[in-house]
Amino acid sequence: MIINLTTLPGDGIGPEVTEQAVGILQAVAEQFHHNLKITEKNVGGAALVASNDPLPPDTIEACLASGAVLLGAVGGPKFDSYPAKLRPEAGLLRLRKELGVFANLRPAICISGLENLSPLRSDVVGGTDVMIVRELLGGLYFGERSTKGDSGRRRAIDTMAYSENEIERISRIAFDLARKRKKKLTSVDKANVLDCSRLWREVVNRIATEFPDVQLSHMYVDSAAMALVSRPSQFDVILTENMFGDILSDQAGAVVGSLGLLPSASVGGKVGLYEPIHGSAPDIAGQGIANPLGAILSAAMLLRHSFQLEAEAASIEAAVRDVLAEGHRTRDLAGKAQAFVTTSEMGDLLKGRIQARQTVAS
């Protein structure tokens, strides 16, 4: 198979972690006899510096012509003075819209042996394996907005809006994922206050009739936030709207111990977009200490969701578990007195495990 990708390394630690993810994809392609084709383009602050546009036309063109897009990270404090429409994050929002990716999949798994990284007790966090399905193209981030004067004082307005169609399509993705997992889905809203959430709950209930084998429950977002830290292992799939999903997925990352471990997939449109959920971390950029596992696990999701290469994706995930079980840690995972491996050393360790596993399997 030809695996045709566009990579967008972006800003901060983005290029470092993307380089390691690409190296893993190359190792997997060699082991499973695929042809990996990669086109690299600018996005975010790197694109601003090069062309005064956080999402240049040639980047959009390359992404739409590929089978999937692998993104590193965008943003940094040096771009804070730019107008809102030129900020690196504005380029990312435009990219999601151009690709039409309305479903953001964010798994948060407490990997066995890493329970001590969580701020929660091991007996509370152990066994946590949650998939957050976040609607990505609606809600407050894309609603009508304005800033106007009011008696000499400015007043800002952001509008949360959802159509039945938008809720239906994200719901079906979440139910389908739950059907393949533990058959439990929790829909998170604020239906006691918001009209948007009341419509959300009504539509989710209707779609649930198409999935009678999936157990559906509803939670208000504030209750869900509390439950994520008091009993995180109770959740299987969480379905929610854009802003709630943004907040809860970062919270889930903290619960399982490190944002550096967490991947994401944005799917449902013309081309899937895959990225670690950590930011650009400019304070550690260029030091070789960034954790590449979020980007590498995003590459596994890319193989699974955009190319239906389950065995190849599973080989990456198994290699990550093996290397962590052997005690190898990047700086963010290591204790104060524990030695740690560099960004590239972690990539090399994983390549070795992938090659060894496939040699045994063949």
> Which residue out of 58, 141, 176, 184 is catalytically annotated?
141
Q: Give the C-alpha separation, 258 to 240, whole Å.
A: 22
176 is catalytic: no
Q: Which of 195, 222, 283, 348 is catalytic?
A: 222
Which residues are CB-neighbours of 3 under 8 A, at least 6 positions away? 25, 29, 34, 35, 36, 37, 67, 68, 303, 307, 309
Which tokens in the block code for residue 240? 């929610």
Query: Which one of the listed residues 53, 162, 189, 190 is annotated catalytic?
Result: 190
Q: Which of the following is catalytic: 189, 246, 274, 351?
A: 246
326 Cβ contact list (under 8 Å, min separation 6): none
For residues 276 and 258, the answer to whether their CB atoms sit within 8 Å is no
- What is the rounded distance in angstroms from the CA atom of residue 300 to the CA atom of residue 167? 27
Determine whether 190 is an active site residue: yes
- Choose, from 129, 158, 250, 322, the residue flagged as catalytic: 250
Contact 135, 245 (CB under 8 A): yes
- DSSP codes of every residue in 106-171: EEEE--TT-GGGSSS-HHHHTT-EEEEEEE-SSGGGTS-EEEEEETTEEEEEE-----HHHHHHHH
CB 290 within 8 A of CB 263: no
Question: Is there a catalytic annotation at residue 246?
Answer: yes
Closest CA to 69 of 10, 13, 16: 10
Q: What residues are annotated to the active site?
A: 141, 190, 222, 246, 250
